[in-house]
A and B are shown apart, each in its own frame.
Chain A
Amino acid sequence: MMQAADVPAPASRVASALRSLALHSVSIVLLAIAWEAFARSGAVTMFVLPPLSAVVTRIFTDAGSGDLAINTGVTLLRALTGFAIAAIAGIALGLAMCRSAVARWFFDPIVSIGFPMPKIAFLPVVILWLGVYDTSKIAMVVLDAIFPVVTATIIGINSVDRHLIWSARNMGAKEREILWQVNLPAALPQIMTGLQVALPIALIVAIVAEMMMGGYGLGGGMMTASRFADSRGVFAGIVEIAIVGYVMVKLMALLRRRLLLWHQEALAPSTI
């Protein structure tokens, strides 16, 4: 139980949150100032490093013309569709490998060899098979993002406390109920960890695929800018992609906290 004295008064809690925010933003502000000053000092050309202010202006222009919304939307749609397929198929495959000896025998060598492979090398093969549109990009995302989910699911299911399953069975639960009410919830922390590994991979792959094939999307936009030697566009792309990546990773961490509120780990101080 928390003592009343341990709970800071609201005013001092706000003050301490502000202080930690200030401490956090010092180096980010310093980096921004250093970027602006270095770019304006004349040591490098505008092509090599455009000033931050020019890049920010460019981002606002893109946002005004609607390009930013389209490119972000298209990239997120591809990455998240692939991620969702990889998540569902990966959990299903992991479960199948835990429950059926045949599935384990067949897929185990494929997963253990496929996981450490640089699947991105198959990108030209996937283009050859599925063309240069959304299907091939999404397929590439699935191919790369599925492995961490499968291995995490297997580890999670195998580490479920046997007593939980025995008790549930003893109390008359059916196999299906044990799966949904015991196995999956108990394995959820590991599965979430696998999903948290898979999400950045999905973004990396979606962006590489767009860079390779061109067209809309944040990666495609950056490549177009780079071909026209438009370095403001390239740096604007980096900042946009960095923000998208940051928001996605934080949202995933929030989702984990929400889904695992009942779990012991929720008692640990939040890292978000």
Chain B
Amino acid sequence: MNALFRYLPLLILALAWEAASRLGLVSSLALPPLSDVITAWIELIKSGELITNGVTSLWRAAAGLGLSVVIGAVLGIAMAWWRPVNVLLGPLVEMFYPLPKSALIPVTVIWLGFGDGSKILLIFLGCMLPVTIGAYNGARASDQMLVWSARGMGAGRVRTLWDVVVPSALPELLNGIRTALALSFILLVSSELIVARSGFGYLIGFLGASGTYDAMFAVVLTVAFLGFAADRFYLAIMRRALLWQA
């Protein structure tokens, strides 16, 4: 009952959408009725188009994001732990962090063409720096007392790094990964909208160009929902991973 009251506004919006296009308040070309969009979605699932393109897209996002998390976290912790690494990489991170990541789309196409490779590279490059900065800030802020105690009790440098610095970097690192997750969806969809022959973005562009707007709305809403669901799922994992924190 409480949940119903909470999500009532969304229901109202959905009903207003349906009514607006059924009653002809807006052209059904500009806004196909929600019921038509749902029918089109079921058709897309049945024909398998949504699933094959979706699997392609999710593979690209997962591969790019996975690479950026591993390499970004290693770089960030190395920057916090070894001063020479920081001197060398710090200015580069600072210089490239504010780069509007979408600028990389045409370059990754020049390097790797229209297929999976260019999307994975784009997502990797675009998502790496938020992870690096999260890991760096987290590892740098690890309690010096804990580091000294570990060293005093005979832990080696590597052991201290693994048992003290990495866990204390975790909260900030996980936040950085959350930013990267959101970025990965943005980069995936925009690169597929602009240059691709498969994937969600391609499907949206193709359906829009052929004028089947109800199906286009169905794919747009699917992508939007997947982005939202991925964030909520990640948040749940993150809370679990940080349970040991007070």
Tell me the smallest distance from the CB of A218 to a CB of chain B, in Å.
8
Contact of A27 among B88, B204, B216, B223 (CB under 8 A): B88
A222 to chain B: which residues have CB within 8 Å? 103, 106
Question: A77 at interface (Cβ–Cβ under 8 A)?
Answer: no
- Do A26 and B208 touch across chains, with their CB atoms under 8 A apart? no
A121 to chain B: which residues have CB within 8 Å? 189, 200-201, 204, 220, 223-224, 227
Q: Which of A88-96, A161-169, A179-187, A244-252 contacts B (4 or more CB under 8 A)?
A: A244-252
- Do A125 and B231 touch across chains, with their CB atoms under 8 A apart? no
State the CA gap A200–B216 with chains docked (Å): 28
- Do B182 and A125 touch across chains, with their CB atoms under 8 A apart? no
State the CA gap A193–B9 with chains docked (Å): 28
Assuming the contacts A125-B216, A219-B102, A234-B106, asked whether A120 and B186 have C-beta atoms less than 8 A apart, the reply is yes
Question: B228 at interface (Cβ–Cβ under 8 A)?
Answer: yes
- Do A110 and B106 touch across chains, with their CB atoms under 8 A apart? no
Q: How many residues of A contact B (CB 8 A)?
A: 56
Q: Which of A62-70, A152-160, A203-211 contacts B (4 or more CB under 8 A)?
A: A203-211
- Do A124 and B205 touch across chains, with their CB atoms under 8 A apart? yes
State the CA gap A242–B99 with chains docked (Å): 5
State the CA gap A249–B95 with chains docked (Å): 11
Question: B232 at interface (Cβ–Cβ under 8 A)?
Answer: yes
B189 to chain A: which residues have CB within 8 Å? 118, 120-121
B82 to chain A: which residues have CB within 8 Å? none
State the CA gap A235–B111 with chains docked (Å): 12
- Do A248 and B220 touch across chains, with their CB atoms under 8 A apart? no
State the CA gap A246–B100 with chains docked (Å): 9
Additional A-B contacts beyond A120-B193, A121-B189, A242-B99 (12; CB < 8 A): A27-B89, A109-B7, A118-B186, A120-B186, A120-B190, A121-B220, A124-B205, A207-B102, A212-B194, A218-B103, A238-B99, A245-B98
